[in-house]
A and B are shown apart, each in its own frame.
Chain A
């Protein structure tokens, strides 16, 4: 049935970057974000008691179109096993 040669999928550059990247020290490290990119809301992270890991919605939404890498090469299978195919689940209204 499987006539395609089964080669282990290679992780993409973005996947590898995510894996090897270190955690930014949000409070102590100054990042020069590219022009047009907002920094995390400084007010949220200045409180002193905060660990500097609070991010407001506007900051977080900036990543939406920038990072689209799957978490792993076998991700599609994993989604199939857990969430399942939305296409093969019984949906009323769409009787075939």
Chain B
């Protein structure tokens, strides 16, 4: 008897598991899928196999991970940014020219000393009908600066007067130079003349928040639904965590006549090969950069078949030297290592993504002549000369006395291949012994930050389209992202001068001079400038990717 009961019980248990597991709503179920999923207005993928005729304006895009947050103040990654750029719009936005254009701001007045910006807002509304006001911007920006909130990108607002003080708890909220003078006028006071400020106002940390909703609901950005209102070309209608994000055309957008796509479904699939497979089977209209990547192995054949699209990106792949220890405390040794690399060979044989060899630090999309660089790629004769000089200065008789160099990178196949190639080049060209060391990402970053390395790899993606974003990290040796222990009085001086220089041309020259010092002293060894590589449905036109690799679907459409 007991046995019978047990059988029945265990079967019940098993079936309850099955039912519990089955309770997830399937996607072809119309209507509401429950509170935490927001609402769906899903039609069964009609875009499938749509050839010719009345082109369906539905884009199927992929994100390589779940967006960590769709709260503009919390977002600090390109996936979140990639969604936010479609659904929220700031005072300015990067237009098809690649320059910031007026968006929610209708008129922008800059004071003579370039430190006060006055924005007049146009009559824009949120997707629930609320007007977009100057208070929405003031609220959003001050929210980011409130130390009680966990905004990692708060420092993106430090150009504003009183912002850093407020964020570090040393100043009050009222002392921040952000003032909504009336419903439609926003006045912003800056610390220094900031020529790239209108670029910044297009960045996602500067996006507005519907303050009426956010003040009452702390968790407004957690899900799609009534609380998440949009003021951009598209509105968020479904966010199924780890699964997909669905956007529809926003009919209350001020420039809605420009928007042609009706719907964007952003699936969340991480594996690059899978994403490419889905693209090839017409399950996606886009695969690859900027939000995601193509599998390296597939790039050469995609290029040969003419399907590959490439665009330079404002980012640099480089190695850092720990300049506080022998032998890289010696500039000549660093130069020798920097000159003894054949960057073109690495690009042709290892990375294969059509990157550009970098012998400068600031990408050519910011300083055009940096495509030529400050020194010649693969200049072995010079490298040997520098090595000899460096060895003498350090008191070594010859290269065999130089202890083995450790080259560190974070665990990844791509970084490993590059490191192996460079290891080989240094051994062959300079005769030094090089060992490789990899560690898991978080461990690796800690090592760099604590100067527990000799040579280590790093990549830097511009936050805004200005050289200072690349140069300022080497201003102070204890600065957050320096990691090299390198500091140079002249370099520092040039950067300081550039931050108060009002004349754009003079400022650029100051920054170029600073970069020349950096590339002469080489505390960093640039390797290549990144490119964005992707494949796209032939019928999809006018997707715009700006210099910072932000993607915009505002103008995109499918050709019939």
Determine if chain A interacts with chain B. no
**Residues of B with Cβ closer than 8 Å to A?**
none
